Structure 1
Amino acid sequence: MNDNSSTSAQIEADGERLVLAGDWTLEHFYRIQRKLKSLDPSQFTTLCFDNVTRLDTSAAQLLVEWFDPARMHELSSQLPASRRSLLLSVTEAVQTQQQDPPPKADANTLTQAVALLGRHMESLFLQQKYLLAFLGLVLSALARTLWRPKRWRVTATVYHIQQTGLNAVPIVVLLTFMVGAVVAFLGATVLETFGATIYTVNLVAFAFLREFGVMLAAIMLAGRTASAFTAQLGSMKSNEEVDALHTQGLDPIEVLVLPRVIALWVSLPLLAFIGTLSGIFGGAVVSMVALDIPLAQFLRIVERDIAITHFYVGIVKAPVFALVIALIGCAEGFNVSGSAQSVGEHTTSSVVQSIFMVILLDALAALYFMEMGW
């Protein structure tokens, strides 16, 4: 290779001996590549590195691939130890890459769809397995601290009750009030055909006592609180604050997770109760304005026709929803890898999982209670 610089990479063919000189680095990669293409590697049986001043992995990989890894392994035995170790490392890496080529994309669309479904099912199974293991850790931590009042995190628990419960009251009241009004409008529109608009009262009360009150409050907390838990714990994980707790001999489950779980256990039943009352009140307002049903008559119909059992059926689901939302939010927070992108991904995942699990559990509970005749 012709170059006026004394440090440029040089290659000379001396019979069966290949003489290398200068800097064999990334800076001269394309020069080396062009020169090697003009030579036949099979004619050389000896390598000379005596005049090589610098050698990096890029030039070494180019030389290994040109010679073939097997031949380079043989030729490198003649070299000094400082050069041989680098060439052998690059040779092993190239051999590994050649032995394990990347899988070719399957042209069969059906096969790809089935494989994608399989990966999603495997991911779902591992996710649920992790969630069950996390539930075990939370319950064991709760059992350890339940009979030791000195270890209770009262301040943190009260703080999270305020954040998840008290601060969520306005949005829950507004949401359930509007949904109650919509349910009343729809019920009145359908029942008017049969001359039974008075049963709009029963529809609104039945729907909110059994389903909508607790489910809307849970969905609101799933979007509002689960995401907050994941972002908070994910940021702590990124800043190594969780590792600092371990270093101090503290259990992160006891310090960070239990106060959040207990706070949701307190907050969600109260929000569900408030949401139920607000939804029924929304239906009552629509009944007064559009159906000429006075508030006193509305309340008498609810008291006469709607059994208290329906309220129990709805409110008993609140602690279960609270546990699921808190577990998913905290578990996703502990899964954050450390980057800002990971925090965002796991926050989104916690919201989606929480809402999905709330709706799924509510559907299963509705089927169970219906079969039981409750």
Structure 2
Amino acid sequence: MSASPPENQNNSQPGTLQPGRPAGQNDTLAIRGDWTLADYQTLKKQVKDYSDQQWETEYIDLKELGRIDTAGASLLVTLLGSETLSTLAKQNNNLPQEQSALLQAVADAMQEKPTPEPKGLGPVAQFLTETGQTMEAIWHLLYLLAGFVGQILATLFTILPRPSRWRVTPFVAAVQSTGLNALPIVALLTFLVGAVVAFLGATVLSDFGATIYTVNLVAFSFLREFGVLLAAILLAGRTASAFTAQIGAMKVNEELDAIRTLGLDPVELLVIPRVLAMMVSLPILTFVGMLAGLIGGAMVCAIALDISLAQFMAIVERDIALKHFLVGMSKAPIFAFLIAAVGCLEGFKVGGSAQSVGVHTTSSVVQSIFMVILIDAVAALFFMEMGW
């Protein structure tokens, strides 16, 4: 690299242009020779001597430029700036097309984009910004979940008419792990909650002389809401997290890639048996939870209110219609499907690290519980409006 004057001036030797001296009307920067990785260190020292000066495109001479690679082009960006070099590569007709394209590509890649300065937001604007970001994240989550649910249903309708593709063994194993193994904890929890509800009803209703209606309170609450809701929340924390961890570990170990390489569908292989098992297990657990809650309430009524078991059952039979039991049971398959879908979807979203498995496992539990409570609230409003 050297600085040489135009033809009407004497040629100056390389490096004779004083560092820091602005380019005048009669100064031309001549870039000669090969600019490749082999001479990178030598060229870098020369660029450093001239990099603090501003050069205009009309006074830069590239006629004697030899070979150039990306390393040399990056040095020219440092010397001239990305905009100047890009303009020079477009306007200079003496450069071969390959060199011009290389210089322009490197200049565009190294172009410094100004970082927008963060503006101070007031508390209201910051709150609205965070709210918008949260709503966008929720919308993206619902979009993915809707697509995954559609994929599950499409796969399910594809394999149902083909018994040869049914995976009975994984289905039975999933029923045992999600249903039978969860029976003790569901029964115990609903029994205790039933006792607590009965105690609460006896305490509040005694002020009105209506303690006998404690039976109705326990029966209504467990047949319509608590039986299915408590079982679903327990499965959301117990089973959805297990689905996420299992599928996530398979993804970390690249087992899902191996399944796809063998021409198999991971949804059919891993998701469908778990979804069907949940849809069988949760109604059973809901029924057990209803019975356990009624037994807990009956025990408290017998101890605290002197309402015998026979009288308790007679009131339930007389005042509680069958439709309340059916309302509670009708929500169980829907909750089961959503819990399994969320757990499996979060498993497929796991990245390549153990930390990602933990993050998505936690996310699956939170999302499952949120979806269960949300759907239960919507269903309660719907049934109330329908008079069921």
TM-score computed with the length of structure 2 as normaliser? 0.79
User: How big is the shift at 1:80?
Assistant: 11
User: How big is the shift at 1:305?
Assistant: 1.9
User: How big is the shift at 1:17?
Assistant: 6.1
Matched with 2:108 is 92
Alignment partners' CA distance in 2, 1:272 and 1:250: 34
Q: Tell whether the 8 Å contact from 1:231 to 1:333 is kept in structure 2 after alignment.
A: yes
Letter in 1 for 2:197: V
SS in 2 for 1:40: coil
* 327-336 or 317-326, larger mean C-alpha shift: 327-336
Alignment partners' CA distance in 2, 1:295 and 1:310: 21
SS in 2 for 1:14: coil
Rg: which structure is higher?
A: 2
Over residues 43-94 of structure 1, what are the superposed CA-to-partner deviations in whole Å (9 max), with x where a residue is unaligned? 99569x99xxxx996x975763453223345778899999998865542222
Matched, 1:40 2:53: yes
Alignment partners' CA distance in 2, 1:190 and 1:355: 30
Q: 1:122 aligns with which of 136, 148, 157?
A: 136
User: How big is the shift at 1:242?
Assistant: 1.8
Q: From the superposition, tell whether residues 33 and 350 of structure 1 become closer, same or farther in structure 2 (CA, over 3 Å).
A: farther
Matched, 1:106 2:122: no
Q: From the superposition, tell whether residues 176 and 32 of structure 1 become closer, same or farther in structure 2 (CA, over 3 Å).
A: farther
Letter in 2 for 1:151: R
Q: From the superposition, tell whether residues 168 and 35 of structure 1 become closer, same or farther in structure 2 (CA, over 3 Å).
A: farther
Q: From the superposition, tell whether residues 219 and 32 of structure 1 become closer, same or farther in structure 2 (CA, over 3 Å).
A: farther
Matched with 2:84 is 71
SS in 1 for 2:15: strand
Q: Tell whether the 8 Å contact from 1:173 to 1:274 is kept in structure 2 after alignment.
A: yes
Q: From the superposition, tell whether residues 254 and 14 of structure 1 become closer, same or farther in structure 2 (CA, over 3 Å).
A: same
Over residues 272-303 of structure 1, what are the superposed CA-to-partner deviations in whole Å (9 max), with x where a residue is unaligned? 01111111112122222322323332222222
State how 1:138-287 maps to structure 2 within 5 Å.
Answer: 138-287=152-301
Q: From the superposition, tell whether residues 290 and 65 of structure 1 become closer, same or farther in structure 2 (CA, over 3 Å).
A: farther
User: How big is the shift at 1:225?
Assistant: 0.9
User: How big is the shift at 1:170?
Assistant: 1.5
Alignment partners' CA distance in 2, 1:14 and 1:87: 26
Q: Tell whether the 8 Å contact from 2:70 to 2:106 is kept in structure 1 after alignment.
A: no
Matched with 2:15 is 13
Over residues 17-37 of structure 1, what are the superposed CA-to-partner deviations in whole Å (9 max), with x where a residue is unaligned? 689999756xxx9x9998667
Q: Tell whether the 8 Å contact from 1:46 to 1:75 is kept in structure 2 after alignment.
A: no
Alignment partners' CA distance in 1, 2:82 and 2:153: 56
Letter in 2 for 1:255: L
Letter in 1 for 2:139: F
Matched with 2:361 is 347
Q: Tell whether the 8 Å contact from 2:275 to 2:341 is kept in structure 1 after alignment.
A: yes
User: How big is the shift at 1:259?
Assistant: 0.3
Q: From the superposition, tell whether residues 115 and 65 of structure 1 become closer, same or farther in structure 2 (CA, over 3 Å).
A: farther
SS in 2 for 1:317: helix
Aligned residue pairs: how many? 354
Alignment partners' CA distance in 2, 1:212 and 1:242: 38
SS in 2 for 1:115: helix
* 204-213 or 277-286, larger mean C-alpha shift: 277-286
State how 1:281-320 maps to structure 2 within 5 Å.
Answer: 281-320=295-334
Letter in 1 for 2:80: F
TM-score computed with the length of structure 1 as normaliser? 0.81
Over residues 290-319 of structure 1, what are the superposed CA-to-partner deviations in whole Å (9 max), with x where a residue is unaligned? 223233322222222222221111011101
Unpaired runs of at least 5, structure 2 = 1-13, 18-28
Alignment partners' CA distance in 2, 1:333 and 1:116: 27
Matched-pair identity in %: 56
C-alpha root-mean-square deviation of aligned residues, in Å? 3.4
Letter in 1 for 2:15: A
Q: From the superposition, tell whether residues 104 and 41 of structure 1 become closer, same or farther in structure 2 (CA, over 3 Å).
A: closer
